[in-house]
Amino acid sequence: MVDFLIWVVSLASIALMLVRPRGIPEWVWIGGGAVVLVATRLLPLGGALHAIREGVDVYLFLAGMMLLAALAREEGVFDWVADFAVRHARGSARRLFVWVYLAGTVVTALLSNDATAVVLTPAVLAAVRRAKVEPRPHLLACAMIASAASFLLPIANPANLVVFGNHLPALGDWLRAFLLPSVASLVATFVCLRLLSRRALAGEAAPVGDAYRLKAAGWVALAGIGVAAVALLAASAWGIPLGGPTCGAGVLTLVLVAVKDRKAPKTALKKVTWSVLALVAGLFMIVEALNRAGMMRLMRTGLEWLAAGDNGMGGGIGKFAGGFGVALLANGMNNLPVGLAAGTALQQMGQHGLLAHAVMIGVDLGPNLSVTGSLATILWLIALRQGGAEITRLEFLRVGVVAMPVALLLALAALW
C-alpha cells in the first residue's frame, strides 16, 4: 500500500508539472509533491536529505549557467547573436534558418540547452519579426537544437550530469564517444526540419537597418562566457566535477560586468529563474521515493536484460532498445526524473560504457518528440507565449514524430 501511494503522489506531481493547470509554476507541483511525500512519511526525512545532497553538483551547474545566461541577456549578447544571423542571411529565409541553427548549436554547447530554449528564443523571435519571415521554422529550430546538440559537450545539458553522476567521462573520452553521434543528431535534425519547413522557408527576408552594437559591458559578458567555456572544458578534460567551476565562472563574470555596468548584475540576479533549483531538488526527492517504491528495480531489471542480451549477441542491440526506451519514457515522465532513475540504475550495475552512452543520448534527444519531454521545451513554450507567439503541442508533435526517431536512430547507429 505504501508503494502504491508513493507512485500515485509522485506521478500526479509530475503530471501536474507537465500540464501546469491554472498556469501554476512547475516547481510548485514538484515541490508540493515532495513535501507531501515527506510529511506523510512515505519518504523518510533522511532519505529526502540524502536525495537533495546528491544533486549539489547539478544545482551549482544550473546556478552558474543561469547566471551567465541572464548576464548575457541583460547586456544584449543574445540580441547581438540574432542580429548577426539576420545580417548574414542576406535577405534569404533559408540562410537565416541555417544561421539560427548554427547559433543555437553554439549556445547549447557552451551555455546548455536551457539557455537556447529560454534565452535565445526571444531574441530569435524579435529577429525574425524584424526580417518579416515566417517564424515557426526558426522557433522550432531553437527548441529542437536544444536537445539535438545537448550531448555535443558534457556541459550542454544538466541531464548529462544526472545520468553519469560522479562517473562523467573526461572530455577526451566524451568526444571519442559522442562526437560522431552528435554530428549525426545535428545533421539529421537539421535535414528533417529543413524538409518539413521548405514552404515556410521559401520567402525572402526584409532588409535590416543599422547593426546592433554591443556596449562595453556586453563584450565583458561575452568574454566571461568564453572564459567559462574554456574553464569548463578544462575541468571536464581533467575529470573535475563541473558544478563548482560553472558557478565560479558565473560569479566572476558578474563581478567583471559590474565594473562596466553597476546596475546589470542586480537586474540579472532578479531575472534568474531560481525556482528551477527547487524544481530539480524536488525531482531528486521524488525519484528517491519512486526508487524505494520499486522503480529502481524495474529500471535495473530492464537494463540488465539489455546488457545480458548484448553480451550474448555480440553487443549493439541493447543500445537501440535502451536509447529508444528511455526516449519514449522521457516524453511520458519528463527526461530529468527518467535520467535520474536510469543513471542511478546504471551506476549500481557498474555500467559506464555503450549502454550508458545510449541511455544518455535517449534522455537528451528524446524530448524532441513532444513539448512534455524536458523542462527546456516546456520553458521554450512559455517563452513563446510571453513573446506573443504560439506553436501548439500538436504542431510540435507533427515535426517531432519525424525528426526525433530519425535523429535518435542515426545517433545510436554512430555510437561505438
> What integer pLDDT is reported at residue 337 of this predicted model?
81
The model's pLDDT over 295-305, given as tens digits with 9 standing for 90+, comes to: 878 888 888 78
CA torsion angle 217 223 224 226 (round to 10) = 150
Dihedral of alpha carbons 332, 335, 341, 345, sign: positive
The model's pLDDT over 208-220, given as tens digits with 9 standing for 90+, comes to: 667 778 888 888 8
Q: Looking at residues 183-206, what average pLDDT do you find? A: 90
Give residue 8's Cα distance to chain centre.
Answer: 27
* Cell, residue 319: 543500445
Q: Looking at residues 369-389, what average pLDDT do you find? A: 81
Place of cell 554591443: 214
Classify each residue of 204-217 as buried b or exposed e, where b means 16 or more C-beta atoms within 10 Å of its C-beta: ebeebeeebebeeb
Is the model's pLDDT at 311 over the cut of 60? no
Q: Looking at residues 169-186, what average pLDDT do you find? A: 91
Is the model's pLDDT at 346 over the cut of 90? no
Neighbouring-strand partners of residue 92: 204
Exposed/middle/buried for residue 74 (C-beta within 10 Å: 0-12, 13-18, 19+):
buried
- What stretches of 42-170 show up as alpha helix (H) in DSSP? 45-54, 56-74, 77-89, 93-111, 113-114, 121-131, 136-148, 158-164
Indicate the pTM of the whole model.
0.81
Euclidean distance between CA atoms 75 and 261, whole angstroms = 9
Residue 396 backbone zone (phi > 0: left; psi -120 to 50: alpha; other: beta): alpha
Euclidean distance between CA atoms 336 and 329, whole angstroms = 11
Average pLDDT along the chain: 85
- Of 214, 337, 294, nearest to 4 by C-alpha is 294
Is the model's pLDDT at 111 over the cut of 80? no
Highest mean pLDDT among 92-106, 163-177, 203-217, 248-262: 92-106
